Amino acid sequence: MSERIGIYPGTFDPITLGHADIIRRGAKLVDKLIIGVTTNPSKNPMFSTEERFAMVEREVANMGVSNVEVVGFNALLVKFAQKQGARVIIRGLRAVADFEYEYQMAGMNQQLDENIETVFLMADVSLQPIASKLVKEIALYGGDITPFVNNEVREEVNARVKEIGLKGDY
């Protein structure tokens, strides 16, 4: 029987505790989980692709999961999955709004390759409100992001905020 490979794609800008939860749980569902760090033209990243890649690699190493690999990509997700030999795409869900978008994406991906299945994982209830976009916004306005990211990620985000400057009338 061939190895079951899954892909968990995202921009991870920055990687949050919610992402880490999906990685840990997704790694249990497949023989090998590839974390695909990608770009998204519709998002304004705080960190470069290289910085996000290094951040995700470090966080995965700290999790102690042995069947997870981090790979950067800038391609159509289905093409990336095919190249990696993956038959499963893992997507994390936080809310109903996520489901509507992810459901549409799963349908489009199925049209592109019917042999690749999308699996939705709900984030742990305590982590469901966490979104990278909101973490960045909180940090940019001087808020504490400790409940949402690991310490090293918090330090990196805070250092970047120092570089670009706080926003608002704090």
Name the residue with tokens 């996000």: 52
132 is catalytic: yes
User: Cα 114 to chain center, whole Å?
Assistant: 23
The catalytic position among 4, 25, 32, 94 is 94
| Dihedral angle, C-alpha 127, 133, 138, 144, nearest 10 ° | 40
The catalytic position among 52, 87, 91, 132 is 132
28 is catalytic: no
43 is catalytic: yes
- Alpha-carbon distance 81 to 88, whole Å? 8
Query: Are 89 and 109 spatial neighbours (Cβ–Cβ below 8 Å)?
Result: yes
Element (H, E) at 104: helix 96-112
- Alpha-carbon distance 136 to 118, whole Å? 28
- Alpha-carbon distance 119 to 103, whole Å? 10
The catalytic position among 19, 87, 91, 136 is 19
Count of beta carbons in the 10 Å neighbourhood of residue 157 = 24
4 is catalytic: no
Q: Which residues are part of the catalytic machinery?
A: 19, 43, 94, 132
